[in-house]
Amino acid sequence: MSVSPENSAATWHEFALAWPTNLEAFSPYRQKVRDFFASHLYWGDVAEDMLLGLDEAMTNIVQHAYEGLPDQVVELRLRLEDYPPQRYSVLTMEMLDQGPGGQAYDPSRQLEQARRDHEAQEHRMGYGILFLHRLMDRIHYESSDAGTNRLVMQKWFSNGPVEPEYRESLLNELHVLEVLPPVEPEMLQEVCQTYPDLEVGEQLLILGSIFGCEQEVMRAAIVQARLNLSQRAS
Amino acid sequence: MFAIDSQETEGTVLLKLSGELDTWAAGELDEYLAKLVPTLRKDLVVDLSELAFMNSSGLRSFLRLDKLMKGEGMELVIEGASRSVFKVFRYSGLDGYFTLR
C-alpha cells in the first residue's frame, strides 16, 4: 500500500506513460518525465534525483522482470501532490509490469546483497539499488497472483524555501519521535549554512548522521514528522 | 543521443562524452574502451562537460575503465562533470576513489 498524507488540502498533478522495455529507447521517455518535473517541481535537484531513481528502477525492471525482452511496456504513473500550507510535496512514482521473467524486481529484497557488495568494495553490482534507497523515502513492492508486479517509490520534499521556524519544528518532532536527542537549533542552522542548496529533509538526514542515526530510520521519521506537523496545522 | 569523441594531445588522450550515458550507452562505451585502452600509450582524460545524464551503468563503465588503465600502468582522469553527473559519483561513495577534477 502506498502512503499518502491524510489531509485533503492538496492539489495534484498526474502523468501516465507506457514505458518501453527497449533499453535503447529510454532517452525520449526520460525527457517526457523531465518535462513533467520541469512544469510542476520547484526543486531542481530533487527533479534530477527522481529522474535518476526512475531510470534505475526501469532499467532493473527490464533486466530482471523482462530479462531484456524488447517491445513490451511498463506502465508508469506519476503523481505529484502539493500541500502549500504545510510546505511540502509528495511525489509518487508507480511502475506496473507483467514481465514473464522469473526474477521480479524487488528492490527491498536486493538491498542487503547490494550493501554487502558495496561494503566489500567489489564494485560488481548493486549501485542502482543503493541509489534508490538513498534517493527515495519509501519503496514498496508487491506481486499479484495475476502476474502483475507493482513498484511504488515515494519522495517527500519541501515545495519551496522553508522558514527557520518550520525547520526547528521538524527538529523538535524528531526528538518527540525519539530518533534524535535534544538538539540545539544552532546545530541545525550550522548544517543548513554548510549545505544551503540541500532540501530541508536532506539537511536533517545529515544532522541525523552526526548523531549516528541509521539513514532509513531517519528518512521514515522525517516523513512522519512532516505528516504530524501537517495534521496539527490543518 | 550518446556520442564519443576522441582527441590526442601531447601528453594525453582526451575522450569527450556527450548526451546521456544510460545502460544502453554504457554498453557502447564499454565496447569502445575495450578496443581503445590496449592501444593507449598515454594517460586518459575523460571530459564529461557535455554529458547531461548518467546512471549507475555509466559509473560501472568508469570502474571497468579504471581497472583496465591501472592494468596498463596508466592514469585515468575524469573532468568537467556537471552537478547532476557528479552526484552519481558522490551517491556511490566513489567520488574519492576516482581522480575527478
Alpha carbon distance A149, A99 (integer Å): 8
Best to test chain A binding among B2, B20, B22, B85 (most A CBs inside 10 Å)? B22
Residues of A in contact with B83 (CB under 8 A): 45, 48
> Taking a C-beta distance cutoff of 8 angstroms, is the pair A139, A153 a contact?
yes
Rounded CA-CA distance B37/B4 in Å is: 14
| Of residues B55, B88, B25, B51, the one with CA closest to residue A23 | B25
Question: Quick one: A122 exposed, middle or buried, by C-beta within 10 A (0-12, 13-18, 19+)?
Answer: exposed
Contacting B with CB below 8 Å, chain A residues are: 23-24, 26-27, 30, 45, 48-49, 51-52, 55-56, 59, 63, 118, 123, 127-128, 130-131, 134-135
In the numeric block, the cell 520547484 is attached to A42
The Cα–Cα gap between A205 and A223 comes to: 11
Q: Is the pLDDT of residue A130 over 60?
A: yes
Record: contact B55-A56, CB cut-off 8 A: yes
Question: Looking at the predicted structure, is the pLDDT value of residue A1 above 50?
Answer: no
Long-range CB pairs of A180-183, under 8 A, 24+ apart, other chains included: A180/A207, A180/A208, A180/A211, A180/A213, A181/A211, A183/A207, A183/A211
**Digit-coded pLDDT (tens) for B10-51:** 778 999 999 999 999 999 999 999 999 999 888 999 999 999
DSSP secondary structure letter of residue A84: G
pLDDT tens digits, one per residue of A191-222:
999 988 888 898 999 999 999 999 889 999 99
What pLDDT band is residue A88 in, cutting at 50, 70 and 90? confident
Q: Does B87 touch chain A (CB under 8 A)?
A: yes
The larger pLDDT score, comparing residue A55 to residue B38, is at A55
Identify the pLDDT of residue A109. 66
pLDDT for A25: 97
pTM above 0.90, yes or no: no
Average pLDDT of span B76-92? 94
Rounded to 10 degrees, what is the CA torsion of B65, B67, B73, B79? 40
Contact A23 B93 (CB under 8 A): no
How far apart CA A57 and CA A53 sit, in angstroms, is 6
Q: Is the ipTM of this complex over 0.85?
A: yes
| pLDDT at residue A124 greater than cutoff 60 | no
Q: What is the reported pLDDT for A198? A: 84
End-to-end CA separation in angstroms for chain A: 24
Residues A140 and A128: their CA atoms lie apart, in Å, by 16
Q: What is the SS3 assignment for A98?
A: coil
Q: Residues A137-191: pLDDT tens digits?
A: 999 988 888 889 999 999 998 877 788 888 899 999 999 999 999 998 889 899 9
Confidence of residue A129 (pLDDT cuts 50, 70, 90): confident
Provide the pLDDT for residue A126: 75
* 8 A C-beta contact, residue A72 and residue A18: no
For residue A110, pLDDT over 80 is answered with no
